[in-house]
Amino acid sequence: MNSEKELKSQTILVTGATGYIGGRLVPRLLSKGYKVRCLVRDKDRLKGRSWFKDIEVFTGNVLDEKSLKGALNGIDSAYYLIHSLASEGDFAEKDIEAAKNFGRAAELNNLKSIIYLGGLAQQDTNLSKHLRSRQDTGDALREFATPVTEFRCAVVVGSGSISFELIRYLSERLPMMVCPKWVYTKTQPIGIKDALHYLISALEKPESKGRIFEIGSSAIMSYGDMMKIYAKIRGLKRLMIPVPVLTPKLSSHWLNFVTPIQASIAKPLVLSMKNENIIRDFSAREVFPEITPDTYEVAVRKALDRIRDNEIETVWSDALSSSVRDETPVTMVSKEGLIFEHRQKIIDASAESIYKVFSGIGGTRGWYYWTWSWQVRGLLDKLIGGVGLRRHRKHPNKINVGEALDFWRVEEVEENKLIRLRAEMKVPGKAWLQFKIEPMKNGKHMLLQTAFFEPKGVFGLVYWYMLYPAHKIIFSGLINRIADYSEGKRPWSLQGLKEF
């Protein structure tokens, strides 16, 4: 065991800090007194983290060996939490190249250890490309002098993890599900809390160096079992129907539609699910006796509690999602049960001017672009018993939290910065519309317009995608019209608008 003084003098490098595991590991290392350096390709992706000011950031890319020069100077141990599953090209080749570059850099800098999180599966000829890549990555790191501690685990159960989100979305959205063979593959899941506990404990256990540990809860269950337990916890009745054949390609497209996981990622994951993930080496219990992993049910309840309390630290798509500085003006992503449709536009106007325009939306001014379409939507809502568009707004120029605004409710207001509206029209789910201003260095401002939708069941998804073509026109026109009014390119006044 290291003394507290020795512990606080160590500097730990974390790769993959923008990802799901790495983003949760960093604050826990800091809380234990370690100094932390993060190796990232784009430091801007860490700026929103509460711990950003407490770490050192080094910009580099493990696929570019020259960029690693200096990254490991003064480092005691490093966490290797990188994979190329979502990248273009051959992800397995990239994984090996990256691991060798990192292992060589660690050797040159005389690191005490590398701690790596890989995949749990038995090595055999039928191992999927994804799982084989995870194990080959560990082998590539071990080609060099630095001792490697490798943890192998299967499904990580935690709010926002890719495995848990797959199970959650399938269970929540499909009252009846056709189940291909992979649904019945045996596995041993592990809660995110316990996975992080193992990773951190390895720093303090010299006897763990140079070894491979298989970690997970004690119960062996299938993916179908996990969905049934999830449904039971949530009070959902679900019917599961086995089907003899459903190709990985078809499964990946099915998951792409029902869950937030795009087909390019879903396909290798589905192929990996044909391999059993069962612990056969129990040495982790001997080296880490203080860790007793939670049962799957307990881990699920903890994940759901975090989702309910809006305390989700990281999600699996963090490393993939676009930052507000990306050049793409429109993006649509899905995470944590919500579909996000982002639009952004650089506006050459003050924050006060931009805020004045979007906070004055609705009521007598209408919706700036295709107001007639909003009126039609309000009429349809009224016909089915909804609030319709008749409520208008309390004041044409002032907006406060809790007020009604046409068929929206004002949920949040930050003057000269943000407003968020919650839909009160009848929809198969929950919907929000948000406008936010971000300052830029050149005196201009970025307007971020986001439509959020939490679909209820499959019908909610169908509803969203049926309306998406119209939304694409309406919301694009809306942000462009706000920009025009803010910059004075079109007439706008506090008294109201005549042209819509």
Query: For residue 481, is it within any domain?
Result: yes
Chain centroid to CA 24: 12
Domain that holds residue 366: 330-486
Q: What integer pLDDT is reported at residue 283 of this predicted model?
A: 96
Query: For residue 225, is it within any domain?
Result: yes
Residues 354 and 412 both lie in one domain: yes
Query: For residue 424, is it within any domain?
Result: yes
Query: For residue 316, is it within any domain?
Result: no
Interior CA angle at 43 toward 355 and 50, to 5°? 65
Residues 379 and 339 both lie in one domain: yes
Q: How confident is the model at residue 233 (pLDDT cuts 50, 70, 90)?
A: very high
Report the alpha-carbon distance of residue 431 to residue 451 in Å, rounded. 7
Higher pLDDT, 209 or 381: 209
Query: Does residue 88 surpass a pLDDT of 90?
Result: no
Query: Does residue 328 surpass a pLDDT of 90?
Result: no
Q: What is the pLDDT of residues 175-225, one digit of tens each?
A: 888 888 888 889 999 999 999 999 999 999 999 999 999 999 999 999 999
Phi, psi angles (nearest 5°) of residue 178: -80, 135
Report the alpha-carbon distance of residue 49 to residue 53 in Å, rounded. 9
Note whether 65 and 29 are within 8 A (CB).
no
Q: How confident is the model at residue 327 (pLDDT cuts 50, 70, 90)?
A: very low
Average pLDDT on 34-60 reads: 90
Residues 294 and 341 both lie in one domain: no
Which distant-in-sequence residues (6+ apart) come within 8 Å of 249 by Cβ? 267
Query: Does residue 17 surpass a pLDDT of 70?
Result: yes
Query: For residue 442, is it within any domain?
Result: yes
Q: What integer pLDDT is reported at residue 83 of this predicted model?
A: 82
Query: Does residue 323 surpass a pLDDT of 60?
Result: no
Note whether 79 and 14 are within 8 A (CB).
yes
Q: What integer pLDDT is reported at residue 310 of this predicted model?
A: 67
Report the alpha-carbon distance of residue 59 to residue 67 in Å, rounded. 8
Query: For residue 322, is it within any domain?
Result: no
Q: What integer pLDDT is reported at residue 195 of this predicted model?
A: 97
Residues 179 and 35 both lie in one domain: yes
Residues 262 and 371 both lie in one domain: no
State the residue for tokens 């350096």: 37
Question: To the nearest whole number, what is the mean pLDDT of the chain?
Answer: 86
Q: How confident is the model at residue 312 (pLDDT cuts 50, 70, 90)?
A: confident
Q: What integer pLDDT is reported at residue 324 of this predicted model?
A: 35
Average pLDDT on 236-240 reads: 89
Nearest to 234 by CA among 187, 145, 169: 169
Higher pLDDT, 12 or 89: 12
Q: What is the pLDDT of residues 388-409, one digit of tens each?
A: 876 567 778 888 888 888 889 8
Nearest to 187 by CA among 234, 144, 219: 219
Residues 58 and 149 both lie in one domain: yes
Q: What is the pLDDT of residues 338-353, one digit of tens each?
A: 788 889 999 999 999 9
Number of domains comprising the chain? 2
Q: What is the pLDDT of residues 255-305, one digit of tens each?
A: 766 776 766 677 778 778 888 889 999 999 999 999 999 999 999 999 998
What CATH number has the domain bearing residue 266?
Answer: 3.40.50.720
* DSSP code of residue 277: B
What CATH number has the domain bearing residue 479?
Answer: 3.30.530.20
Query: For residue 293, is it within any domain?
Result: yes
Please identify, among 250, 276, 308, the residue that sits at the C-terminal boundary of a domain. Answer: 308
Residues 334 and 296 both lie in one domain: no
Q: Using the CB atoms, write b or e for 237-248: b if 16+ within 10 Å.
A: ebebeeeeebeb
Q: How confident is the model at residue 102 (pLDDT cuts 50, 70, 90)?
A: very high
Compute and round to an integer the Cα radius of gyration of the chain.
25
Residues 288 and 396 both lie in one domain: no
Query: For residue 314, is it within any domain?
Result: no
Q: What integer pLDDT is reported at residue 125 of this predicted model?
A: 63
Collapsing DSSP to helix, strand or coil, 405 comes out as strand
